[in-house]
Amino acid sequence: MVGKKSLYKNSIIKQLYFAGSLSCSDLCRLTKMSLPLTTQVLNELLEMNTVVEVGHAASTGGRRPILYSLRPDVMYVVAVAMDQLFTRIVIMDMQKNYAGDVEIFELHLAGNPEALSILEGKIEDVIESSGMEKDKVAGIGIGMPGFVDAKKGVNYSFLDAGNGSITRRIKDKMGLKAFIENDSTLIAMAEFRFGAARKRQDAMVVNLGWGTGLGMILNGELIRGHNGFAGEFSHLPIFANNKLCTCGKMGCLETEASLLAVMQKAQEGIGNGRTSILKDLSKVDFDKASWAVIHAAEKGDQFAVGLLTDAGYHIGRGIAILIHLLNPEAVILSGRGSSAGKIWKISIQQALNEHCIPRLAAGTDIEISALGYGAELLGAAALVMDHYGS
């Protein structure tokens, strides 16, 4: 019975984490436990000071039900958001608040055999510098680019763990459960759980990053595909430009429509004397340079606006294919580059006007994420809690 009680408690904890606050009847419905059992387990969690009362729900005509929530400091998760060039780490509480500053550092993944060791060291440093006991950490969630097999804990593109798995290696080293997932899938998870896709049954979440990733929500479920590799939007062979992609093929979407392509064109343009408020970007790291281009575009710099507009148009061509194949309710622009969402949105809509059947395009909303660059960190935390108690 003790084992079952733990399962019941874990189920309630997970539901409260993702919903924020719920009534006893809500928990009963979501966990599929009986009302007496839900009440009993909830009371035990209240006695343990794991759960707290946070007020009353809106009136529906009768007595207003009490709402319950997790105490923020009952435990924490370590969230790691990686891309090809930079990694961010932060500790988050049970209310999705940062429990400290975000640690950001440059870590190139391609051709870097030391990347996994560096990552392990940085995660350990963040935990140690927080002064937090490891028994307060529910786990480590890591989003990363590449072909990620989350079940096996393996990334076939980066972070070589030899004959073992990334997750096992981190667990053995730190004594904490670790979970990995593709970065774009985690961004979609964040949007699905907490953001613009929360009430959507069918949505495409486009990760505007160094590549152009995709997370797919179909029939109210996050779709990973047979091996977990679904959503390789960046590598749609759209162009006959003879440009070599990072995947080894030519003409992929990301060769013209990604922040990496935008940065390369920005550097070339400034180097060739284009008039712009942007300065010599070759002397600035890509993280700062990418924000410089976005901020310049937001200020109306014609060169920067043109770069994002061109990339957005090509992303729109790719989205037209998605709409024709999947007929989504919404396409959500998220990730690093989504702060320039209005510029992307206009050029994407122009591409849809030209390349998409009007009746199909009319049924799909193009939305800008409110989570933005924080989506992957939030998704990494959600990944841990999705596995909580398993």
Determine the 3-state secondary structure of 145 from DSSP.
coil
Residue 185 confidence (pLDDT) above 70:
yes
What pLDDT is recorded for position 59? 66
Q: Where are the domains of the chain?
A: 2-70, 74-187+376-386, 198-370
Query: What's the mean pLDDT in 329-356?
Result: 94
Fold match, 74-187+376-386 / 198-370: yes
For every residue of 271-289, DSSP letters joined together read HTT---S---GGGS-HHHH
**Whole-angstrom distance, CA of residue 170 vs CA of residue 180:** 11
| pLDDT at position 231 | 87
> How far apart (Å, rounded) are the C-alpha atoms in residues 342 and 353?
17
Residue 208 exposed, middle or buried by CB count within 10 Å (0-12, 13-18, 19+):
buried
Query: Which of the listed CATH numbers 2.60.200.20, 3.40.1280.10, 3.30.420.40, 3.50.50.60 matches domain 198-370?
Result: 3.30.420.40
At 62-119, the pLDDT tens digits run 678 899 999 999 999 999 999 999 999 999 999 999 999 999 999 999 999 999 999 9
Mind listing the pLDDT tens digit for each residue in 283-319?
778 888 889 999 999 999 999 999 999 999 999 999 9
* pLDDT per residue as tens digits for the range 358-379: 999 999 999 999 999 999 999 9
- In a 10 Å sphere around its CB, with 0-12 CB exposed, 13-18 middle and 19+ buried, how is residue 229 labelled? middle
Q: What is the mean pLDDT of the chain?
A: 92
pLDDT at 15: 96
Instruction: State the Cα–Cα distance between residues 84 and 106, nearest whole angstrom.
Output: 9
Q: Higher model confidence: residue 390 or residue 318? A: 318
For 133-165, the pLDDT digits (tens) are 999 999 999 999 999 999 999 999 999 898 899
The two tokens of residue 325 are: 């194949």
Give the whole-angstrom CA distance, residue 23 versus residue 26.
5
- Report in angstroms the alpha-carbon separations of 378 from 133, 189, 372: 22, 9, 10
Predicted confidence at residue 355, as pLDDT, reads 95
Predicted pLDDT of residue 1: 42
How far apart CA 157 and CA 142 sit, in angstroms, is: 15
Angle between helices 302-326 and 286-298 (to 10 degrees): 90
Residue 60 pLDDT class (50, 70, 90 cuts): low
The helix (run of H) or strand (run of E) holding residue 139 is: strand 137-144
**Structure confidence at residue 217 (pLDDT):** 95
Q: pTM value?
A: 0.93
Pick the CATH number of 2-70 from 3.40.50.12160, 1.10.10.10, 1.10.10.60, 3.60.21.10: 1.10.10.10
Q: Which CATH code, of 3.20.20.100, 3.30.420.40, 3.40.718.10, 3.40.50.180, is assigned to 74-187+376-386?
A: 3.30.420.40
